[in-house]
């Protein structure tokens, strides 16, 4: 893994740190996160908490980097980034995102791919700003939002680009709870730890059944099966 992504163990919880900056999605981040998940799964019966920097959980795609890619390379990257979301969504371990700062775009979607979310009380917004920027969302990304949020919240997030602070995020079900910055990671570890002991051996299969539509579109299974792929 690069210097940005790191793992530490806190008893029965693995804490995955995305990095110290804006943690924008590029090829390096996607590859490093996949390697980190490989390591977590090798650790056996654990939970997983991800956390960003003091200002950002993740600020979405690295748009400047994306703009410099060829069409085919960009397509392959988006496919692999969606596959990462699919993998995270059905991980066979309990997961929580500690939203240490802003979670925008692809970062907001990564947060939704966790089982639980803990929002920082004094800083950070969760938002899908693609509609304001005229950027289309892939079918799998929309399916993920629909799978994790209420219809009303999904509508406001997808069609209005609404920005949610901690209190609003908890009220709307985007986040499960909130915590001060100093307690954020430990609170996320606590909510995950409460699920580790009782996690069933078929947890991944249960998640895959629960989020079947989102998983199928994110992983590419639905596109391959459709006679008219989108």
CA-based max dimension of the chain: 51
Overall residue count recorded for the chain in this entry: 230
What tokens were used for 41? 């799964």
What is the mean pLDDT of the segment spanning 185-209?
Answer: 92
Q: How far is Cα 164 from Cα 166, in angstroms, rounded to an integer? A: 7
Phi, then psi, of 55 in degrees rounded to 5: -115, -30
CB 156 within 8 A of CB 128: no
Q: What value, to the nearest 5°, has the Cα angle with vertex 100 and ends 166 and 190? A: 85
Q: Which domains does the chain have, with CATH numbers?
A: 6-225 (3.90.226.10)
User: What are the pLDDT digits (tens) for 87-138?
Assistant: 999 999 999 999 999 999 999 999 999 999 999 999 999 999 988 776 778 8
Q: What is the model's pLDDT at position 133? A: 72
């Amino acid at each position: 893994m690069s210097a940005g992504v790191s793992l530490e163990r806190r008893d029965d919880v693995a804490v995955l740190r995305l990095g110290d900056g804006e943690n924008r999605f590029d090829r390096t981040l996607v590859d490093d996160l996949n390697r980190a998940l490989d390591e977590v799964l090798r650790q056996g019966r654990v939970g997983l908490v991800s956390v960003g920097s003091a200002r950002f959980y993740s600020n979405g795609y690295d748009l400047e980097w994306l703009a410099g890619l060829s069409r085919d390379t960009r397509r392959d990257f988006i496919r692999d980034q969606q596959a990462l979301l699919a993998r995270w969504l059905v991980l066979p371990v309990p997961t929580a995102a500690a939203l240490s700062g802003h979670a925008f775009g692809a970062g907001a979607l990564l947060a939704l791919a966790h089982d639980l979310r803990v929002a920082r009380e004094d800083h950070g917004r969760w938002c899908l700003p693609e509609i304001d920027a005229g950027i289309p969302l892939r079918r799998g990304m929309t399916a993920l939002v629909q799978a994790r949020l209420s219809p009303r919240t999904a509508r406001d997030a997808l069609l209005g680009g609404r920005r949610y602070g901690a209190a609003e995020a908890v009220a709307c079900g985007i986040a499960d709870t909130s915590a001060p910055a100093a307690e954020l990671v430990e609170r996320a570890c606590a909510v995950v730890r409460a699920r580790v002991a009782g996690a069933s051996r078929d947890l991944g299969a249960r998640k895959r059944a629960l989020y079947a539509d989102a998983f199928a579109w994110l992983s590419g299974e639905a596109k391959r099966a459709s006679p008219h792929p989108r």
